[in-house]
Structure 1
Amino acid sequence: MTKTKATLTRIADSSRRDTVSLFDLLAQREARDRTHFFRIEGLRLFVKAMECGAEIQSAIVSASHSDTPAAQRALRYLQDHRIPTTHVSDECLARITQTEDPQGFAAIVRQRWESLADITPSADLCWVACESVRSPGNLGTIIRTGDSVGAGGVILLGKSTDPYAPLTVRASMGSIFAQRFIRSTFQNFATWKQQAGAHLIGTSPQGAYDYREVLYQRPTVLFMGSERKGLWPIHQSLCDELVRIPMAGSADSLNLAVAAGIMLFEIFRQNHPAPADLLRSG
């Protein structure tokens, strides 16, 4: 091996180690907050990132990657956009990922954050504000459900979990790339709510109205509390309407993501009436 070739090999090896090390570190929130990157695992998420125009910083591809049309499309995308790509063994990819079958693809992607000033709430069906949501799975499911009804995104208040945590990203099933994210203090959120004229709907077992009784008109913001405590009195006082979801069994509460899903699809239903040919007469 010539001296030049040996030098290039060392540089390539160093770059590969740096990419794999960074990917590994991004499992930790401290590293994500410091670098403003996050990690994705699996071909499906990679394709979704491509389709949504996410800023892919670098990719990791294993030797026996999937040979499907989607995989070939992903490889062409990497080449056409000149995205740095690190090739690793299947064993290496399995070691650094948490997905059962990443199909040979993983990547480092730049996070996208916006401010409350960037939001025009009337431009979307609704937005979701979450106070101190702790479960990555719940947050990821809310993101996915919000995307499915055409919500604009999620406003995170208090000590909420990171939307770019690996478990949240996986639970979102790719909707992480289609939704917008804002971090805010409650005080700034309250000021923005008044200035934007947003119709703030909170949920509580003590809500004055059944959630089906309320008219949801733009601009609507759905306000969900934490898993254990719900909305505190100070949060409830900011709401224009406080609604309850009726229950008939012995359970005294609903999972946060389930409650958010019920609310989001009621907002969707009211704004997207069923076609006349789907309605049946009694």
Structure 2
Amino acid sequence: MNRRVLITSPQNEQVKRWKKLHSKKGRLQEQALLIEGEHLLLEAHTASVRFEAILVNSEKADAWRRIEGRLPMDVVVYELAPAIFDALVDTETPQGVAAVISIPVWPREAWLEKEGDLTYLLLDAIQDPGNLGTMIRTAQAAGVDGILLGKGTVDPFNAKVVRAAMGAIFRVPLIQMDLAEAIPLLQAHGVTIVNTSPHAGAYHFDYPYPSRVALLLGNEGRGVDEKHLAHVDAAIKIPMPGETESLNVSITSAILMYERIRQQFQGR
């Protein structure tokens, strides 16, 4: 049974530490993040993420009882006064249960040194948390092997990204790395770099995806940085007969990832 600790003061040292997790700097210093809600806690546990603390609103014990037996039993449960709990989470209608967990770390061999077919996303300065979270969630559904987050990309452990990803951040390798370093490294491992361009000669459904491919997607406003485009192996385009200027980057990524799946399934 979990040991329980009651906290009623906002000046408690643990509370002060947890508040630091609201910032990227604090998360990096502590190598931890705060997640909220039954679904995310269960997803984190299923993915074998290490729990450091479980936080419960002392007036919403039902939320904890619903999942108590499905979470680690060796983690301290902190029962917080409602005002303290609500100040720690950033949802408008908190469910009453949260956790501090270790930031997932993906070793090099988990993404770079795999053999056989591979699919990666390379993200250049994606700034909208909702876009990034949606892309991570879609990448998990599509079986993507890893996501490389280039300079200028929003912190993947930002609370809005975590919510939008719906637990996928615990399962898809997320590697924060300068794409100027990542692209030649991937190419050295036989990975073809592909991006979208309205001037490309082939539509995305006519381009035969190689067995090892990385899809390069750029910033919502300016697209992919020119210095990265110079090293792209192939460009494709998505037809837009409605003459829309561009698609949302998360929609673009989904179209490309699922064309990859279609080709893989068709080749079986």
Question: What is the TM-score when the length of structure 2 is the normalising length?
Answer: 0.88
Measured against aligned partners, the alpha-carbon deviations of 1:80-123 in whole angstroms (never above 9, x if no partner) come to 2x112211133332232122333221111111233656523545
Task: Give CA deviations for 1:150-209 in whole Å, capped at 9, x if unaligned.
Answer: 112210112211000111001101111111111222332133122211021111222232
The 1:145–1:16 alpha-carbon spacing in structure 2 relative to 1, beyond 3 Å, is farther
Question: Contact 1:204/1:231 (CA < 8 Å) preserved in 2?
Answer: no
How far apart are the structure 2 equivalents of 1:191 and 1:45?
35
Q: 1:132-211 maps to which residues of 2 (within 5 A)? A: 132-211=125-204
Match of 1:91 among 83, 98, 122: 83
Give the 4+ runs in structure 1 shifted more than 6 A.
10-16
Q: Which stretch shows the higher mean deviation, 57-66 or 140-149?
A: 57-66
* Counterpart among 69, 93, 108 of residue 101 in structure 1: 93
CA contact (8 A) 2:10 2:16 kept: no
Instruction: State the one-letter code of the partner of 2:31.
Output: H
Q: How many residues align?
A: 264
Deviates more, 1:237-246 or 1:44-53: 237-246
Q: Unpaired runs of 5+ in structure 2?
A: none
Q: How does 1:230-269 map to 2 (within 5 A)?
A: 230-269=223-262
**Partner of residue 38 from structure 2, selected from 28, 39, 43:** 43
| Aligned equivalents of 1:166, 1:194: Cα separation in 2 | 33
C-alpha deviations, 1:117-150, integer Å up to 9, x for none? 6523545651111011111111111000000111
- SS of the residue corresponding to residue 126 of structure 2 reads coil
Aligned in 2, Cα 1:22/1:124: closer, same or farther, shift over 3 Å? farther
Query: Counterpart in 2 of 1:278?
Result: none
Aligned to 2:103: 111
Partner SS for 1:212: coil
For the 8 Å contact 1:202–1:243, the answer to whether it is kept is yes
Which one-letter code corresponds to 1:113 in the other structure? V
Does the CA contact (< 8 Å) of 1:152 and 1:180 recur in 2? yes
String of CA shifts for 1:37-56, please: whole Å, max 9, x gaps. 11111111001001100111
- Higher gyration radius (CA): 1
Q: 1:11 Cα shift?
A: 10
| Structure with greater helix share of residues | 1
Deviations 1:33-84 (A, max 9, x none): 222111111111001001100111111012244647xx5463234552x112
Q: CA deviation at 1:218?
A: 2.2
SS in 2 for 1:151: coil
Structure-1 separation of matches of 2:14 and 2:223? 40
Query: Secondary structure of the residue that 2:130 maps to in structure 1?
Result: helix
SS at match of 1:126: strand
Q: In the superposition, relative to structure 1, how do residues 49 and 16 fare at CA in structure 2: closer, same or farther (>3 Å)?
A: farther
Stretches of structure 1 that go unaligned for 5 or more consecutive residues are 1-9, 276-282
Which of 28, 36, 45 does residue 33 from structure 1 map onto?
28
The amino acid across from 1:61 in the alignment is V
Structure 1 residue identity aligned to 2:24: R
AA partner of residue 225 (structure 2):
W
**Secondary structure of 1:169's match?**
helix
Give the root-mean-square deviation of aligned CA atoms. 2.7
Amino acid at match of 1:96: L
In the TM superposition, what is the alpha-carbon distance from 1:273 to its structure 2 partner? 3.4
Instruction: Give the TM-score of the pair, scaled to structure 1.
Output: 0.84
Q: Which amino acid aligns with 2:18?
A: F
1:1-12 matches, within 5 Å, as: none
**Could you say if the C-alpha distance between residues 241 and 218 of structure 1 is closer, same or farther in structure 2, counting changes exceeding 3 Å?**
same
2:174 aligned counterpart, secondary structure:
strand
**2-side partners of 1:22 and 1:171: how far apart?**
25
